[in-house]
Each structure stands twice: as C-alpha cells, then as structure tokens.
Amino acid sequence: MTAAPLPHHQPSKKSDNSERVAESTPVSALKELVARLHREQNKVQNLLSSLGFALRSFNNLNQFLEIVPLMAARVTDADGGALVLFKRNGQARLEQLHCQEGHTCQDIRRAIEQATRQMGEKKSKPQKNVKRSLSGNAIDEPELPTLRATSNASIDERVKESLDAGIQLFGTPILVKNRERGRIYVFSRDPEYAWTTTRQRLVQLVADQTSVAIANHELTNELRAKERLDRELEIASEIQVHLLPSECPQIEGVELAAACQTANRVGGDYYDFIPTNYDRLQPNDNPQEIESTTPVPWSIVIGDVMGKGVPAGLIMTMTRGMLRAEVLNRHSPAKILQHLNRVMFEDLENSHRFVTLFYSEYDPKTRILSYTNAAHNPPLLWQAQTEGITRLDTWGMLIGLEADSQYEDASVQLAPGDTVLYYTDGFTDAVDKNGARFDEDNLVDAFCWACERDYTSQAILDHLFDRVQQFIGSGSRYGDDMTLVVLRVKSS
C-alpha cells in the first residue's frame, strides 16, 4: 500500500504580514532608543560646551548667572527656568528668571518672590533659646539666623502653594563646598511633562557648573583682597622701617649697634635713640654733628608690644610718638614712664594690649647709665673688669596695665670695655625643631663669649643673631620679633 502524500500547507497572506510586523516592531523600537540616546548625548555635549565657553569668556559672575535659567529650561524642554541664590545671612533672592518664547512668567515671578520674602521675614525674626543660669533662672538668648537645608527646601513648597495647580515646578540645589548656595528651578504647564532621570541629570550639570562659577568668583575676590592686604602690609612695613632708626648715632665714647628682625612684615618690637636736646634742633640740623661739639645725654629705649602683626605695629608707632614727646619734659626715667603709662592707658586698655619698655639715658660726660624698667627683659651688662654679668632691672608694671603705676629710678657707672645688651623676648623664646627654647642662659653664654674676645658692638650683634639662627635651624622662620641693641664703652 502506497501512502498518499500529505498536502502542503500554504500560509495565508494575513499570517505573513503579521510575522513581518512582529519582526519590524523590536527593530524600530531599538532604532528609536538609539536615536534618543544620541540626542541626549548631543544635548549633554552641547550643554557642557556652552557652559564651558561661558565660564571661560564671561568677565564676571553676573554675566554667567544670566544664562543659567535659559540653559536649564532648554536642556529640559521646560517652559522656563529660575535661579534663586541664598545670601550669607540665609535670606533668599530671585536672581534670574527666563521664559521660553510664547510663555508668560509673571505668575512664576510673583510666586518665587513671595516665597523668598516669607522666608526672609521668618529668618529675620530671632528665635529665642531658653537657657538656665547658674541660679536656675531662665535666660532668653536670640538665635542668629543660619542657613539650613530644610528651610531652603521649604521654599519649593511655598512656591508650589502660590502657583496654579496646572504648573509643574522642579528644583535642584546649587552646592558650593557642601553648602547650599541657591536653587535652580524649571517649570512647565504641559500636563504630560515628566521630571525624568535624564532631565534631572541635565539640570544637575547646570547646577554644578553654576557652583564652579560661584566658587571661582569668590576665590578671585579673595585673591584680590589678599593682594590689597599684601600691598597695605608692604606699605605699613615701609613706614615702620622708616620710623625705626636708619642708623645708630655717633655718641662720644661708645659704640652702638642695633637691628630688628620681624616675624611678619609688620612687627611690635621697638627701639629708639633720642637726643635729649632734639627739640632745639632745626629741621636741617644733623644731631650727630652737634653731638661732636657739645655732648648731650641720649635716651636708649627698647620695647615690645604684646602680639605681632599690624595691631602691634600700630601701638608701637603710637608708643614711639608719645615717648618722644615725654622726653622733652626733661623728667627722670621713672617719671617719663609714669607719664607715658598714664597717657597710653586708655588706648591700650581698649585694645586689650600691653607694652613692655626699658628706658635708659646715657651721659657721655659721666658714663652713667640711668634707667627704669616697665616689665621688660632686663638688659645684660657685661663688666670688663670682672668679666661678669649684671641684670639692669627695676620694679615696674607693664605699660597699660594700671593707670597709676609707679616706676623706680636706678643708675650704673660704666667703665671702658663694659658692654650693655638690650634685647626682646623673641631671642629667649626662640625654639628649635624639638621645641626647646633658646632661653636666657644660651643668650648670656653667647654674649659673654663675644665680649671676652673684645668684639665690637656690630660683631657682637651679628654673632648673637647667628647663634639663634643656628639654634632654630637654617631656613627656619622666627616665631617672634627679635630686636637687639648693643652699647659698648670704648676702651681708653
């Protein structure tokens, strides 16, 4: 028996078309997805290119901020955008608003301005913190306005409350150094508008570039302020250098050397040489020439203002002027410091600073050094005859500590070869890399070593500065101002 062949099944035309549609649908969907990804990629690249060009080209921050809402609205296909910035005190302000063509923004502007105004009124009202005193009584203390992320986020809620229900609003924070400095908003009246992940990333890119622009602007302002401050410090340093003696005077029978090394550009150390007859000199007179024919006593002063930098330098300048005026009265050293303290007390008390000062007068005729001390480091007297050290000190308070401070007079007879070292505490307080102090013992040893070898005043000064530099290490900066004055009586 021969089997009959099965009839061949012919597919219908309708079935063939269905298969082709089923095959073409995934392909077209994939093509559409790829095309959409390309469009988004191009949009991101164009956005970054535009923002980068704006950052490089614009001269100030305001020019860049003007395009931020525009860029945010365009890359998210929104009807418009807005930029709100937060001030240092936490208050918010509408900085820029942009609407695409054919759309109005008056309702958006009113809503954002109303919300920022309400937030400002809330922040301006000081909140009271109730604390308890030691006695248990309640104390109301105002709380200073601060910038909180929660309060900033509430701006979104306030704006949405003021808008029509048909307007969608989306906000993105602008963070600078982990601190919210503003928000970028986009809004749309399209009911089918969706705040997709892609749009969120695009607005975040705009916010990040805005953060960079704000940070660069603030950094530029800081650099400019630093440059102005550097220039002011340079001028202050030049003025202070001119206020200190440019050279030591020629006093009969003695050698003088002096130097001041400041830790900063402007320092609080002070030294001066004042002829007791300088009020009788004419503007063009040279006190050194007059001294050679008619020897007069000279005031030799060293002082130190508490602190360093510009504040100490200002007080040093004030001390110099007032002391020179007091010298004209021809009083004893103790009386001069007493008057100086009384005149400067109020200013020093208001500035919360004090001055240590050692004031002395040397008479070339008698070789007597009269002195008084206002809590300054006692100068060291090396006596050639005994090769011993004597500290020149008297009882006395800091200048500016008490209005009615009293000071004591003292004097010493100097002999040929004797040497007096005036110094500030910057020498004894100098520290090495291990934190050890140079202290007074090392200073005394170095001073005696130079005197025993019959060094000149300038050689002694150079030797002491070299020793302290070796102690703290070559290349290390001074931690405090250092000043030395060396007076050496010439040998007969």
- Name the 3-class secondary structure at 269: strand
DSSP sequence for 49-114: HHHHHHHHH-SSHHHHHHHHHHHHHHHTT-SEEEEEEE-TTS-EEEEEEEE-TT---HHHHHHHHH
Specify the pTM: 0.63
Greater pLDDT, 129 or 299: 299
Q: To which residue do tokens 């963070």 refer?
A: 175
Tell me, what's the pLDDT at 125? 53
Predicted confidence (pLDDT) at residue 90 exceeds the cutoff of 80: no
Q: CA gyration radius for the chain? A: 40
CA 380 distance to own-chain centroid: 38
Greater pLDDT, 200 or 90: 200
Greater pLDDT, 64 or 135: 64
Place 130 in a pLDDT band, splitting at 50, 70 and 90: very low
Greater pLDDT, 22 or 252: 252
Predicted confidence (pLDDT) at residue 279 exceeds the cutoff of 70: no
Pairing of strands 368-374, 410-413: antiparallel
Tell me, what's the pLDDT at 268? 79
Tell me, what's the pLDDT at 258? 96
Determine the Cα–Cα distance for residues 136 and 96; give it in Å rounded to an integer. 51
Place 139 in a pLDDT band, splitting at 50, 70 and 90: very low
Tell me, what's the pLDDT at 76? 87
Tell me, what's the pLDDT at 102? 66
Greater pLDDT, 290 or 371: 371
Tell me, what's the pLDDT at 57? 66
> 95 — phi, psi (to 5°)?
-90, -50
Q: Taking residues 166-192, report their average pLDDT.
A: 90
Q: Taking residues 298-306, report their average pLDDT.
A: 93
- Winning range, highest mean pLDDT, from 7-11, 14-18, 141-145, 425-429: 425-429
Predicted confidence (pLDDT) at residue 159 exceeds the cutoff of 90: no
Determine the Cα–Cα distance for residues 382 and 489; give it in Å rounded to an integer. 11
Predicted confidence (pLDDT) at residue 75 exceeds the cutoff of 60: yes
Tens of pLDDT, residue by residue over 91-122, are: 888 899 998 876 678 888 888 888 888 876 66
- Winning range, highest mean pLDDT, from 8-22, 100-114, 301-315, 341-355: 341-355
Task: Estimate the crossing angle of helix 197-243 against helix 61-75, to 10 degrees.
Answer: 170
- Winning range, highest mean pLDDT, from 48-62, 177-191, 302-316: 177-191
Tell me, what's the pLDDT at 343? 93
Contacts by residues 59-62 (CB-CB < 8 Å, ≥ 24 positions apart): 60/217, 61/213, 61/214, 61/217
Q: Taking residues 415-436, report their average pLDDT.
A: 92
Predicted confidence (pLDDT) at residue 256 exceeds the cutoff of 90: yes
Greater pLDDT, 12 or 61: 61
Place 244 in a pLDDT band, splitting at 50, 70 and 90: confident
Q: What is the mean pLDDT of the chain?
A: 82
184 neighbors 80 (Cβ within 8 angstroms): no
How many degrees, rounded to 5, is the angle at CA 320 between CA 391 and CA 368?
A: 35
Predicted confidence (pLDDT) at residue 250 exceeds the cutoff of 80: yes
Tell me, what's the pLDDT at 47? 65
Task: Estimate the crossing angle of helix 439-452 against helix 457-472, to 10 degrees.
Answer: 140
Q: Taking residues 399-407, report their average pLDDT.
A: 92
Both tokens of residue 72? 């945010």
pLDDT > 70 in the chain, percent: 77
Predicted confidence (pLDDT) at residue 310 exceeds the cutoff of 90: no
Greater pLDDT, 84 or 15: 84
Both tokens of residue 6? 């099965």
Place 132 in a pLDDT band, splitting at 50, 70 and 90: very low
Tell me, what's the pLDDT at 7? 47
Tell me, what's the pLDDT at 392? 97
| Count of positions (residues) in the chain | 492
Determine the Cα–Cα distance for residues 170 and 430; give it in Å rounded to an integer. 61
Tens of pLDDT, residue by residue over 339-388, are: 999 999 998 888 888 999 999 999 999 999 999 999 999 999 999 999 99
Tell me, what's the pLDDT at 449? 96
Tell me, what's the pLDDT at 341? 95
